[in-house]
Structure 1
Amino acid sequence: MIRYTKNFLDKLENLFASSEFILRYEKGSFKSGYCILKDNKIVIINKYYTIEGKINTLIDIIKELNFNPKDFDDKKNQEFLSELQQTQLKL
C-alpha cells in the first residue's frame, strides 16, 4: 500500500541512495516530472512536485529502471522493493 508521507518518500530515496543511480531534485520544466540520464546514472525530479507527485514519479522510475531486490545489500531495502513491485498505482 502506498502511503503519501514523508517517511514513505524517505524510503524511496534510500533505495536510490543504495543503488548506482544518483537522485537529485532540481527545478525545470520536465513534462513528465523527471529526467533520467542513463549514461550518467542520474535521476532528476522536479523539485516543485508535491510529496504525492514525487512518490508517484519515483515509483514509476523504479519500475522503468527494473530495480532488482537482489541488487541491494540491505534486507529492509530488498523487502521494501519487493513490496513496491507488487503494488500498482491507480491514478
Structure 2
Amino acid sequence: MAVKYTKHYLDKLENLFAASDYVLRYEKGNFKSGYCVLRDTKIVIINKYFPIEGKINALIDIIAELDFNPKDFSEKSNQDFLRELRQTTLKF
C-alpha cells in the first residue's frame, strides 16, 4: 500500500489512535523526531507545526513502534487499515 499524503489519510491514522487506548495530541515543542510517546500515560504528542507529510510519517512510525494488534480494534475498517499499514514501508 502506498502512503498518500492527504488530509483524508491523516484522518484515517488519527481514527486508529481514537479507537486505541492512546490519546493523540498536537502540541508545539522542540521534538527531535517530531513526536513524543509517553507510554505510562498512553499519550502520543505530534509537533503541530509539522507539515502533513511529517505528521503522517510520524504517526506511521509510532504505530509500528507501538505494535498495534488489528484484533484489538472493534471496527473492521480499522483492522483492515492497520493490516495495510503493516505492509507499508516508508521511503525517504
AA in 1 matched with 2:67: N
Q: For residues 37-71 of structure 1, what are the alpha-carbon distances to aligned partners after superposition, in whole Å with 9 as ceiling and x for unaligned?
A: 00000000000000000000000000000001110
AA in 2 matched with 1:55: I
Unaligned runs of 5+ in 2: none
Count of aligned residue pairs for this structure pair: 91
1:82 maps to 83
1:30 maps to 31
Q: Aligned equivalents of 1:31 and 1:90: distance in 2?
A: 19
AA in 2 matched with 1:37: L
- Structure 2 counterparts to residues 56-75 of structure 1, below 5 A: 56-75=57-76
AA in 2 matched with 1:29: N
Query: Displacement of 1:7 after TM fit?
Result: 0.0
SS at match of 2:41: coil
Query: Displacement of 1:5 after TM fit?
Result: 0.1
1:6 maps to 7
2:54 maps to 53
SS at match of 2:36: strand
Q: For residues 23-48 of structure 1, what are the alpha-carbon distances to aligned partners after superposition, in whole Å with 9 as ceiling and x for unaligned?
A: 00000000110000000000000000
Q: TM-score, normalised by structure 1?
A: 0.99
SS at match of 2:26: strand
- Over the matched positions of the two proteins, sequence identity in percent amounts to 71
Q: TM-score, normalised by structure 2?
A: 0.98
